[in-house]
Amino acid sequence: MEAVWQKYAQFISLQVQHWMEEKGVTQKALAQRMGCSQQHVSALLKGNSNLTLETIARIESALGVDIIKSAITHVQGYGAGVGAGYGVGGLEPGYLNEPRPVYVRKSGTLKNDSCLKYPIGVQTFEKIIEGGWLYVDKTAWIYKLAKTGQFYFLNRPRRFGKSLLLSTIDAYFSGKRELFEGLEIYELEDEWIEYPVLHMDFTGSSYSEIDALDSKLNDFFERYEEKYSCSSREQNAGVRFSKLIEAVANKTGKQVVILIDEYDKPIVDNLGDYALMDDYRKGLQGFYSVLKEKESQIRFCMLTGVSKLGKLSVFSALNSLKDISLNPVYSEICGITEEELRKTFDCSIAEMASALNISKDECYSEFKKQYDGYHFTSDSKGLYNPFSVLNALSSKRFAGYWYETGTPTFLVEYLRDGKYRLDDLETNGVSEATLTGANYYEPDPVTLLYQTGYLTIKEYDKRFKTYILDYPNDEVREGFLGAISLVYTPLMKRRGDFAVSRFVRDIEAGNVESLMNRFTAFFADSDYQVQGNLEIYFQNTFAVMLKMMGFYVQTERHTSNGRIDVVFDTERYVFIIEIKRDGSAADALAQIKEKGYDKPYLASGKKIFTIGVNFSTETKRIQEWIME
């Protein structure tokens, strides 16, 4: 077998030298592309370097070649099993059929093959490429956008790659061909025409004051007015933007490319503050209306955002804007597919699995449970959250990285006011109009949750043309319930007698008296303030608590005779709860009997507990409860 290894090493050494001469690549340049020292490359060319999967993958990416296939062909028949990809010198069995990482122009010196650079928080394409960070190639989508249209809109959840997408488009239209070497667009594009790019980014500012938007727009104008020597004293944002586009087009003799990141942030930051939100809407209306007016001077325009709230009012004049948010052709333009995860991060997954003392397959499985599951069309591939994937690989542990960066404040407050049942958020039968809703005064929480990434498409009913939504993965589900629990069940975090474990023990043991006494004490605590619609609030509290405990719970569960307020079950028991306000627990229990709420569960073989609860609107507490 040593002889086989020697054949591999000799062939790869000679072949790499040949490819370097053919492509005009020096040892220094190859070292930069591979992300290793020049000494490492020198040893490789002399056949003295240990060949690992990581090293081979880097060479393949750096030179745009397939080393393994060439080596197998050359050494075929020399030694048993070589033609089948037999494990030699780090070449695992079946390696020809395994995806290998893609490394693009990695610079700097790495001590070993495991020192990869994950672009956490790095959203500038040029910085990623020149700095040797890992990059998942999305450039083929950019080429398609550039060649088939002019005005685009895309909404995706935060930290899903929108800013990096626009930065990559910026580099492409700026004619920076050298940055794209090794990427798909490098071979697709023949012209590489340089266009002037106006790139507006609404992130990085808090829009809590009316002057914040004017300040942000003024910084944008001054930056490009200075660059193109076309200063203006115009105060109106729309007029100033129009003059800037015209001046840049005239000065360069080319059409202008306009990129606007997080177009909706000033509005979304103020959902619920109608006065400030409306002022921002009016200001943005004038700014964006210029895009239609200057259409002939614009080569390409793309706007991205988290949501489409306010889209119809802001863009009423821009009817040529193509929304690709639900377009299956572009469903993978942001996020990471399963194939991309395995191709780009396979070695990293293996390292993380080793660090956690689990198998690589188990590590992939946990990644899927935690971070996969986003769908933006009915039949698209599942997408991983890139921010969470990069953080998990960097820290080599699973955690809720995406959710830790922010909470759906508006939605939490909306639910706290008792306007919406929590169970209605995990909903079936949602129309496309709901997913693309644009009522920013009273947005549907389902619309808001979908557009911001807390819900995603799971199935599509072709007959009724409706979508089935659910949480995309465990990270989002657990994070969202955790945020909601701070509103509905704060005592569970602070009081030992209200700890989740105590409720769980009562439920699993079928100890209804202890469970209901604990619930009664929970609501009676002076720190606990019930708000809004009492019945909805009470149902939501039950739902949050039980879901945090890991139980499947339904509120307002439909039966042939009515709707059950709260129902949940375990392996041995079914709990049916009916709630009355300012009535009697006996009336609640009687309703369960009269309506036959227990009938759907009689064949389950489980013991059924029916519980009547009376809730006082005066004291906002459980006044009494009875059980059978």
* Residue 80: burial class (beta carbons within 10 Å; 0-12, 13-18, 19+): exposed
Residue 167 has pLDDT above 90, yes or no: yes
Judged by DSSP in three states, 91 sits in strand
CB-CB neighbours of 513 under 10 Å? 10
**Mean pLDDT, the chain, whole residue set:** 79
**What pLDDT does residue 43 have?**
67
Measured distance CA(1)–CA(330) in Å, rounded: 48
Q: Could you give the CA distance from residue 232 to residue 235 in angstroms, rounded to a whole number?
A: 9
Query: What is residue 335's predicted lDDT score, i.e. its pLDDT?
Result: 95
Query: Once rounded to an integer, what is the mean pLDDT over residues 464-492?
Result: 77
Between CA 37 and CA 444 the distance in angstroms is 55
Read off the pLDDT of each residue in 208-235 and give the average, rounded to a whole number: 91
C-alpha span between 399 and 415 (Å, rounded): 26
Q: Produce one character per residue of 168-187: b if its CB has 16 or more CB atoms within 10 Å, e if not.
A: bbbbbbbeeeebbebbebbe
For 318-323, what is the mean pLDDT? 78
Is-contact 398 366, C-beta < 8 A?
A: yes
Ranges 441-450, 499-508, 528-537: which has the least confidence: 528-537
Given CATH 3.40.1350, say whether it is the number of domain 510-627: yes
DSSP secondary structure, 580-623, as one string = EESS-HHHHHHHHHHHTTTGGGGGG-SEEEEEEEEEETTTTEEE
DSSP-derived 3-state class of residue 575: strand
Q: Picking from 122-136, 184-198, 396-410, 544-558, which range would have the lowest pLDDT averaged per residue?
A: 544-558
pLDDT at 389: 95
In this structure, which topology does domain 136-330 adopt according to CATH? Rossmann fold (3.40.50)
Q: Is the pLDDT of residue 159 over 80?
A: yes
Give kind and range of the element (H or E) at residue 434. helix 432-435
Q: Is the pLDDT of residue 355 over 90?
A: yes
Reported as a pLDDT band with limits 50, 70 and 90, residue 366 is very high
Q: What is the mean pLDDT of residues 610-623?
A: 84
**Average pLDDT rounded to a whole number, residues 15-36:** 72
Q: Which residue ranges make up each domain of the chain?
A: 2-97, 136-330, 338-404, 409-475, 510-627
Q: Which residue has the higher pLDDT, 84 or 242?
A: 242
Give the three-class secondary structure for 100: coil
* Closest C-alpha to 161, from 311, 376, 322: 376
Higher pLDDT, 315 or 94: 315
User: Is the pLDDT score of 4 beyond 70?
Assistant: no
Please report which residue ranges of 259-310 form alpha helices under DSSP H.
265-268, 274-293
Q: Exposed/middle/buried for 501, CB within 10 Å: 0-12, 13-18, 19+?
A: exposed
User: pLDDT at position 272, please?
Assistant: 73
Which parts of 203-262 are beta strand (E)?
256-261
Confidence of residue 63 (pLDDT cuts 50, 70, 90): low
Query: 580-612 burial, b if ≥16 CB within 10 A, otherwise e?
Result: beebebeebbebbeebebbeebeeeebebbbbb
Tokens of 182: 């090794």
**307 close to 332: Cβ distance less than 8 angstroms:** no
pLDDT at residue 94 in the model: 39
For strand 256-261 and strand 298-305, is the pairing parallel, antiparallel, or unpaired?
Answer: parallel
pLDDT at 595 over 80: yes
Q: At 290, list the tokens.
A: 């210029």
Q: Which residues, 6+ apart, have CB-to-CB distance to 69 below 8 Å?
A: 96
Provide the H-helix boundaries in 25-106: 27-34, 38-45, 53-63, 67-75
Alpha carbon 517 to chain centroid distance? 41
CB 34 within 8 A of CB 106: yes
The C-alpha atoms of residue 430 and residue 459 are separated, in whole angstroms, by: 10
Quick one: fold of 2-97? 434 Repressor (Amino-terminal Domain) (1.10.260)
**Strand order across the beta sheet in which 197-201 lies:** 197-201, 256-261, 298-305, 151-155, 322-323
The reported pLDDT for the residue numbered 519 is 80
pLDDT exceeds cutoff 70 at 377: yes
Greater pLDDT, 191 or 315: 191
Q: What pTM does this model have?
A: 0.73
pLDDT value of residue 113: 37
Q: How confident is the model at residue 444 (pLDDT cuts 50, 70, 90)?
A: confident
What's the whole-number mean pLDDT along residues 456-480?
87
Scanning the structure block, which residue is given the tokens 């100033």?
240
CA angle 374, 143, 140 (to 5 degrees): 50
Tell whether the model's pLDDT for residue 522 goes beyond 70.
yes
